[in-house]
A and B are shown apart, each in its own frame.
Chain A
Amino acid sequence: MTERSLTFTLNGQPREAKVDPRVHLGDFLRHSLGLTGTHIGCEHGVCGACTVIVDGSPVRSCLMLAVQIDDCTVETVESLGKPGDLSPLQQAFAANHGLQCGFCTPGMLMTLEAFLRTTPAPTEEDVRIAISGNICRCTGYQGIVQATLDTASTKANRT
């Protein structure tokens, strides 16, 4: 297989890489770049666990080929806070028990990160619709929804 060269921005850093055209973005991030925070849940574009942000929009990294990110800006869960320095959304997830096994969590966070940029004051229904493409089998979603609403209202109160 002929590898293709890519230039892209990943979590704020300019990157260059070579990739086999058959490799999807999720596998490329995980296995070529070692960013294992992005999880692969179904590989048919329904569960949303593999969601990352490309050029500002949430995308399913299992449905996008790695070669498609040439000249794009990619953000993964690794771009958010670190242990000990969590982002407001991550902190709200912990406070509201918005995660249990943690497998869907990176996809949830990236979906909601993109959502809150464009919808800073969502209703509960807005949030539920925003994550209606992300499956969580553990939490029943309520903690995730509350975490998102708390994050939005905390930010609104600050500004």
Chain B
Amino acid sequence: MSGRFFGAAVTRVEDARLLTGTGHYVDDIELPGMLHAAFVRASFAHGRIRSIDKRDALAMPGVVAIYTMDDFADIAQGPMPPMAPHPLLKTPITYHPLSDTEVRHVGEAIAIVLADSRANAEDAAAAVILDVEYLPTVSDVALAHEANSPTAHSQHASNIAATMKAGFGDCARIFAKADHVLTEQFDIHRGGCHAMECRGVVANIDLLTDALTISTSSQSPYMVRRHLAAYLDRDENGIRVMTPDVGGGFGPKANVYAEEFAVALSTIKIRRPVKWIEDRQEHFVATTQQRGQIWSIDVAFDNNGRMRAIRGHCIHDNGAYAPYGLILPATAIASFPGPYALEALDLTVDVVLTNLVPTSPVRGACRPNVAFLLERLADRIARHLGMDRQDVRQRSFVKAEQMPYTTGLKARDGSPISYDSGDYTGALNLVLDKIAAKDFEARRKESKQRGKLRGLGIASCVEDTGIGPFEGASIRVTPAGKVIVATGASSQGQGHRTAFAQIAADALGVELEDVTVETADTAKFPLGISTIASRIAVTAGSSVQLAAHKVRAKAITFASHQLEVDEHDLELEGGAVRVKGIADMKIKLSEIARALAGSTGVPLPGNMEPDLAATAYFNSNALTFAYGANACEVEVDPETGDVRVVRYVVVHDCGKLINPLIVDGQIRGGVVHGIGNALFERMIYDEQGQPLTTTYGDYFLPMASEMPPIEIHHMETPSPRNPIGVKGAGEGGTIPAAACVISAVEDALGPNGPFIPVHPISPQQVVQWLKATR
């Protein structure tokens, strides 16, 4: 699969607008008569609301209405529908659009204030008086897991919402006979997504038809429509949901949120447009977070370093609700055995509720967690046996000749999971070569002369991508000869418009500028799932290709009739169907489109179906597995504990590259996210569930001054599981990055340093670890 545009590093069609301030984000929407919303949010982590006094607030300037859940009783009531129901969750653990009575984390929305300006709405929100009975709070997941803990939901007897188990092989036998067994505890900390655009919603109502129109900064506009329609007991046809330009997503914007429902309910109630724009403080307390997990792992391995079996128990922090069901713990399990050919696996994940912001996937979901466990274990085994770290990996990896490789785990439909293609050993060898690992000791020495401790880290990963069921695309050629691609896949900066235009332009023989791509508007394309889990290139990209080929076939059939030439002798080029080898004998796509648009009394040739258009859905029935090997070097300042990543090299294989410029951008941004997880990003709560890091002065995101240049090398093993041979690329940078950085830090601390089973690490910890080595 390659063409004029597919595979080329073309610059993005999105850029001109976004560079000139003419992008259109949700907060840029202004509607006549629009009200501005602010939420009254809980300042406490767990309590029962006895009463809400809104009299003073209602009297404040510009305030039009203040609603609580009771005020919506004539429209809808009860908790929101679960996005991903799971049989282990007997009762859904979802929010109400506004809290009913029991509040379960700081930041939960209790009331919505509508005013003529955001400032007036915020002033009034602060004047709403709550009478609250405070309840015992649990903010530490390890404590929440204990039998005598206070419960995050007062009606529950335990915080364990579900226990998931999975595995394969005979762990007991292998552990009993293994040459070596090690046990380690891992603690992976909670962070956030921190898209630079916070969330936001604008809802409007048609006063004649009651139809709702909702613009939302979301990864899942079709899920918003589906679940809102179910909640309101309406037909989906009466709800249009679209995403304007979205300023980053990184996972949490895939949820259907309480605020989206509360704004829609307010619009229905007040019969005016309502806008809510999340501010950054709200983002810290109301947008889902991720990665908090405590793992206890036993690993069995043999004398030559081959990893044979893993037994693991996880305490998974799900926060106060489970809006996305059990998707995170399920992803954790599905991320095993990574690149390793284990003979047996035995996993138990306890899904634990706490009085903290709920968790849902953040870039990589639980794949970075599991890559951290597996890669740290590989390093640990090497240290135990006194071997090179790469030798443990290479003896334990699935081999290229074993592909397709059946891991032993089962997919959700019960079918065996199999890795489709890849060369994990080759990727690791290549990255070690590119970072010049064999000369590393000379660089370590040079750093030492400058008073710095240098370390080399390595980490590999496998990433399941392209999860089903489908995305779709329609392609229509207009009578002007322009190609309109519409898809349900929403975009948050990934350059979908460019990538899809590349695919369509190749198939239809037109230029990139002839193609317009419309994304994520339920009025323009009927179905969509979500832009999550590195799935859009596979699902929507393949759909664009399939639809384009249908349109191409139709154009050729038409031209074959008109030109009286056999279809096999025709080709599409320069915006026309032409006879191969005879440049003049052609018919333009615009002419075909006009003819197929019909004229009164004129039958279509060959009784063809009208419209030069087609729709296709690619059913992605089997995952396709991307993979990568990373290596990096850090310098540690032994005086301050400061860690600098000074080199970072990625070898990545996501199958065929549609656009190398875009893929490299996805990988670089992903790596930096992982470096943030390793060294900086720490969401801290006190014992009462109060968040202590709610500004970017307290919660550190990676900045340009701390980030290294990131060098990327691609291997291109085409996926056999979709028509364009691609695998997902959105998360492959993030997944191994924290493991890679921590591996390098551990290496820098030397053979007397500790095994590091945690992230993020702090300069204080580094200094303490170094003290202990002396």
Give the complex CA separation of A37 and B198 in angstroms. 16
Report B248-275 residues with CB < 8 Å from chain A CB: 248, 250
Instruction: Tell me which residues across on chain A come within 8 A of B670, comparing CB atoms.
Output: 140
Residues in B neighbouring A38, C-beta threshold 8 A: 21
Task: Please pick, from A46, A99, A132, the residue contacting B18 in the complex, using a CB distance under 8 A.
Answer: A99
Picked from A49, A128, A145, the residue with its CB within 8 Å of the CB of B196 is A49
Number of residues of chain A lying within 8 A (CB) of chain B: 57
- Check A12 for interface membership: any CB of B closer than 8 A: no
Q: Do A137 and B669 have beta carbons less than 8 Å apart?
A: yes
Inter-chain contact A137/B194, CB cutoff 8 Å = yes
A54 in the interface, Cβ–Cβ < 8 Å?
A: no
Q: With A97-B665, A101-B492, A104-B196 as known contacts, state yes or no: A138 contacts B20, CB within 8 Å.
A: no
**Minimum distance in angstroms from A23 CB to a CB of chain B:** 8
Evaluate contact between B247 and A141: CB separation under 8 angstroms. no
> Which A residues lie within 8 Å of B705 (CB)?
128-129, 131-132
Closest to A130 in B: B704
Residue of A nearest to B663 (CB): A97
Bound-state Cα–Cα, A141 to B707, Å: 8
Query: Which of the residues A41, A44, A76, A83 comes within 8 Å of B16, measured between beta carbons?
Result: A83
Interface digits, B19-32 against A, CB 8 Å rule (1 contact, 0 not)? 11111110110000
B contact residues around A133 at 8 Å (CB): 703
B493 beta carbon closer than 8 Å to chain A: yes
B134 close to A (CB within 8 Å): no
CB-defined contacts of B709 to chain A, threshold 8 Å: 142
Indicate if A80 sits at the interface (CB-CB under 8 A).
yes
B15 in contact with A37 (CB, 8 Å): no
Across the interface, which residues of B come within 8 angstroms of A140, CB to CB?
Answer: 665, 668-672, 707, 710, 733
Contact (Cβ within 8 A) A128 B704? yes
Report how far A129 CA is from B703 CA in the complex, Å.
Answer: 9
Query: Given A93-B15, A139-B668, A142-B710 in contact, is the A106-B21 Cβ separation under 8 Å?
Result: yes
**Closest chain B residue to A49, Cβ basis:** B196
Min C-beta distance of A52 to chain B, whole Å: 11
- With an 8 A cutoff between CB atoms, is B697 at the interface? yes
Q: Mark A113-135, 1 if CB is under 8 A from B, else 0.
A: 00000000000000111011111
For B347, what are the chain A residues with a Cβ–Cβ distance below 8 Å? none
Interface flag for B597 (CB, 8 Å):
no
Bound: A99/B493 CA distance, A: 8
Contacts of B198 in A (CB 8 A): 41
On whether the beta carbons of B19 and A39 are closer than 8 Å, the reply is: no
The residue in chain A whose Cβ has the minimal distance to the Cβ of B23 is A102
Q: What CA separation (Å) do A39 and B196 show in the bound complex?
A: 9
Is A78 among interface residues, defined by CB-CB distance under 8 A? Answer: yes
A83–B20 CB distance below 8 A: yes
Give Cα A109 to B21, complex, Å. Answer: 10
Q: Counting CB contacts under 8 A, is B471 at the interface?
A: no
B280 CB contact (under 8 Å) in A36, A41, A94: A41
Q: Which of A84, A128, A137, A141 contacts B250 (CB 8 A)?
A: A137
Q: Which chain B positions have C-beta within 8 A of A143?
A: 665, 668
Contact B20 A37 (CB under 8 A): yes
Q: A56 CB to closest chain B CB, in angstroms? A: 20
B379 contacts chain A at the CB level, 8 A cutoff: no
**Residue ID in chain A nearest B16 by CB atoms:** A83
Interface majority SS (helix, strand, loop, mixed), chain B: loop
Closest chain A residue to B247, Cβ basis: A103
Q: How far is the CB of B286 from chain A (nearest CB, A)?
A: 15
Residues of B within 8 A of A81 (CB): 19-20
CB–CB A138/B248 < 8 A? yes
Q: What is the CA–CA distance of A135 and B669 in the complex, to the nearest angstrom?
A: 12
With the chains together, A30 CA to B665 CA distance in Å? Answer: 29
Q: Are A137 and B704 in contact (CB under 8 A)?
A: no
Interface 0/1 of A64-79, CB less than 8 Å to B: 0000000000001110
Question: CB distance A39 to B280 under 8 Å?
Answer: no
If the complex has contacts A37-B22, A134-B704, A137-B196, are A44 and B697 also in contact, measured as CB distance less than 8 A?
A: yes
| Size bracket, chain B contacts | 35 or more
B704 to chain A, nearest CB (A): 4
User: What's the minimum C-beta distance from B189 to chain A, rounded to whole angstroms?
Assistant: 18
Q: Does A35 contact B (CB under 8 A)?
A: yes
- The verdict on B246 contacting chain A, using a C-beta distance below 8 Å, is yes
A141 touching B493, Cβ below 8 Å: no
- Is B11 in the interface zone, CB < 8 Å from A? yes
Question: Do residues A40 and B27 form an inter-chain contact, with CB atoms below 8 A?
Answer: yes
Which residues of A have CB within 8 Å of B248?
100-101, 103, 137-138
Q: Would you give the shortest CB distance from A125 to chain B, in whole angstroms?
A: 8
- Chain B residues 216-253 with CB under 8 Å of chain A are 245-248, 250
Q: Does any Cβ of A come within 8 Å of B463's Cβ?
A: no
415-446 of chain B: CB within 8 A of chain A: none
Residues of chain B within 8 A of A39, CB atoms compared: 25, 196-197, 247
* Nearest CB of chain B from residue A81's CB, rounded to whole Å: 6
> Measured between C-beta atoms, what is the minimum distance from B741 to chain A in Å?
14
* A150 interfacial contact with B, CB 8 Å: no
Kindly provide the distance from the CB of B327 to the nearest chain A CB, expressed in whole angstroms: 22
> Which residue of the partner chain B has the closest CB to A96?
B661
**B245 CB contact (under 8 Å) in A82, A102, A145:** A102
Report the bound CA distance from A21 to B696 in whole Å. 26
Is the CB–CB distance between A138 and B19 below 8 Å? no
Q: Is the CB of A137 within 8 A of B18?
A: no
Q: Which residues from B are CB-within-8-Å of A4?
A: none
Q: Report the separation of the CA atoms of residues A80 and B733 in the bound assembly, to the nearest whole angstrom.
A: 33
Q: What's the least CB distance linking A90 to chain B, in Å?
A: 4
Contacts of B400 in A (CB 8 A): none
Task: Name the residue of chain A whose CB is nearest to the CB of B17.
Answer: A83
B window 669-695: CB within 8 A of A: 669-673, 695
Are B19 and A109 touching (Cβ within 8 A)?
Answer: yes
B653 an interface residue at 8 Å Cβ cutoff? no
Let me know if A46 and B695 touch, CB within 8 A. yes
Residues B20 and A100 in contact, CB atoms below 8 Å apart? no
Check A77/B21 contact, CB under 8 A, given A103-B196, A137-B673. yes
**Any A CB within 8 A of the CB of B495:** yes
With A43-B279, A77-B20, A135-B196 already in contact, the answer to whether A22 and B668 are too (CB < 8 A) is no
Interface pair B22/A83, CB less than 8 Å apart: yes
Give chain B nearest CB distance to A51 CB in angstroms.
12
A-side contacts of B703, CB under 8 Å = 132-133, 135, 141
A41 to B277, CA, bound (A): 11
Query: Does any Cβ of B come within 8 Å of A19's Cβ?
Result: no
Whole-angstrom distance between the alpha carbons of A40 and B197 in the complex?
8
B709 to A, closest residue via Cβ: A142
Q: Does A144 contact B (CB under 8 A)?
A: yes
Q: How far is the CB of B59 from chain A (nearest CB, A)?
A: 17
The answer to whether A42 and B672 touch across the interface, beta carbons within 8 angstroms, is no
Indicate if B713 sits at the interface (CB-CB under 8 A): no
- Cα A94 to Cα B11 in complex, Å, equals 6
> Which of A47, A129, A131 has the largest number of chain B CB atoms within 10 A?
A47
In chain B, what residue has the closest Cβ to A133? B703
CB distance from B195 to the nearest CB of A (A): 6
Name the residue in A80, A99, A137 with the highest tally of chain B Cβ atoms < 10 Å from its Cβ.
A137
A17 within 8 A of B: no
A99 CB to nearest B CB, Å: 6
New A-B pairs, 10, CB < 8 Å, besides A78-B20, A97-B664, A137-B248: A37-B21, A44-B695, A78-B21, A81-B19, A94-B19, A97-B12, A100-B495, A138-B248, A139-B669, A142-B707
Which residues of A come within 8 Å of B, CB atoms?
22-23, 30, 35-44, 46-47, 49, 76-78, 80-84, 86, 90, 93-95, 97, 99-106, 109, 127-129, 131-145
A-B contact pairs, 27 of them (CB 8 A): A36-B28, A37-B21, A39-B197, A44-B280, A44-B696, A47-B280, A83-B20, A84-B16, A86-B16, A86-B20, A94-B19, A97-B11, A97-B664, A99-B15, A101-B247, A105-B19, A127-B704, A132-B704, A135-B194, A137-B195, A137-B701, A138-B665, A140-B710, A141-B672, A141-B707, A142-B710, A143-B665
